[in-house]
A and B are shown apart, each in its own frame.
Chain A
Amino acid sequence: MDLSAKIIYKPPNTETNPTLEDPTPDYMNLLGMIFSMCGLMLKLKWCAWIAVYCSFISFANSRSSEDTKQMMSSFMLSISAVVMSYLQNPQPMSPPW
């Protein structure tokens, strides 16, 4: 065990190829926003619920370096979509079958 070698600190993780990174959180974020907008504009309850799910999935898959503001904003948008759909039309959701 010869410790005469030099010590180098870890190179930053940005060296890793960005194409190798998992695109799931970004896709889910985008999907979540699209579904929230659909839910808000078209007053579709199921769209709003799916948006909430998308934002949760995006959060679970996110990298620790990612901005929490982005996550929070997408989450808040989906929650607001659900709340608005129910305020406009308090009827319960009917299943598609």
Chain B
Amino acid sequence: MAREECKALLDALNKATACYHHLVLTVGGSADSQNLREELQKTRQKAQELAVATRAQLTAALRDRGLGAEERAEFERLWVAFSGCLDLLEADMRRALALGTAFPLHAPRRPLVRTGVAGGAAGVAARALSARSLRHEAEGDFDVDDLRELEREILQVSEMIHDMEMKVNVPRWTVQARQTAGAELLSSAGASSVGAVSVQERTGPCDLSKALAATVFSAVLLAAVALAVCVAKLS
């Protein structure tokens, strides 16, 4: 059904935007590197593809005059969420451009700010692309070309937003969001468990320290239990 497809596309776009936001946070900081810029590019290209697809679907659905009132309301809700998401994406892209220009990777007149973030963000980008992992295959001087690409893409996205506003007329004030104020907490329990599972799925260097802590703790616990048994036996 069109509605389910639209919803799925919107969810994917949402995920990509969130991951992009997360990646842009670290531009210019100590985690900035060629890989990061490449991940940024892949994420935003994916986001743009999703945006184009969603827009086509939603425009087709909203232009259809034969929709019932309830369906129409549903689509309008999706439309508002979609345009908000696209605005967020565009804002993040602009900031990425400014930050990328301000902190060029090569020829560092401006060394990167040491913010304490040291790890790679490959996982984040992989999540955005719904891929298992990410291969980095960029050459040197990637960031300069990337910035030019980014400028062009920003213009494309702004044009898309402008087109959207012109073609489809959805007044924002008539849309009623479905989620109430406390809604996020109800399903957050499910979300956190999913998150925990996904964390445990990943093996990586950080888990070593966790494993070490776990073994030390269990050893201490065993020693305590043994002492208690001895004391119990002696007394």
Please say whether chains A and B are actual partners in one complex. Answer: no
A residues near B (Cβ < 8 Å) are none
